[in-house]
Amino acid sequence: MISLSQEEKNYKVLFLGRIFLGLVFAYSGFTKLMEPVENFQGGMAAYEVIPYGVIPFLAHVIPWIEFLFGAFLILGYLPRVSALVLAAMSWSFVLLILTTRIVTGALPADCGCFGEGSLIHLKPLQVLLMDICNTAIGIRLACLKDHPFSLNLLLKNKDD
């Protein structure tokens, strides 16, 4: 039986974390990009603490950030920056959910993360937990200097 060193085990766990975080964001961004932007605008407007004036802008920008940085993380291109961006986004979602709950005393019935046709329907509290985990994963990944099976490593090795 082959025994793995602690470092190798960590690498594997972190690689899986990277793929998970990347997939969640890439899928989430992709599904939003495939739909009319008004759907996402309506979704954001339900979190009543976001000023309505910025919602149309955010509704156009956020799905692209989610999709591109999610894909970057899966591929391992700029993994530390991508992980940091996604961790920051996850943390901002955590703050958004908490602020909405405190200010309005209620939360949207469904987070709306994956659409009505999706098999997954998460409630805001479930999303809150997932976002806390995602923040932790993102920060840990951002602290990792070398990412296994990454485009970054490939580019670095070619240069050596």
Partner 1 sequence: MKINLRSFLTGVLLVLFLAGTVFFIKRNRPAPLPPSQPAPEVSVSRVTLKVLGPESAPVKLVEYSDFQCPSCRVVQADIQGLLKNYPGKIQLTYKHFPLTSHQWSAYAHQAAECMNAQGKFWAYHDKLYEAQAEWSPSKVPPVEILAGYAREQGADMDRFGACMADVAVARAIYAEKEEGNQRQVNATPTFFLGEERFVGPKEMQERGENAVRKVLGLSPKPPAPKKPEPLAPVPLKGALK
Footprint of partner 1 on this chain (CB under 8 A)? 24-25, 28-36, 38-48, 52, 64, 66-68, 71-72, 75, 77-78, 89, 93, 96, 104-117, 121, 127, 151-152, 155-156, 158-159
Q: How far is the CB of 110 from partner 1 (least distance, A)?
A: 4
Closest CA to 29 of 74, 60, 54: 60
Q: How far is the CB of 16 from partner 1 (least distance, A)?
A: 19
Closest to partner 1 by CB, 4 or 109: 109
What's the sign of the alpha-carbon dihedral 140, 94, 27, 66?
A: negative
Q: How far is the CB of 24 from partner 1 (least distance, A)?
A: 6
Q: How far is the CB of 125 from partner 1 (least distance, A)?
A: 13
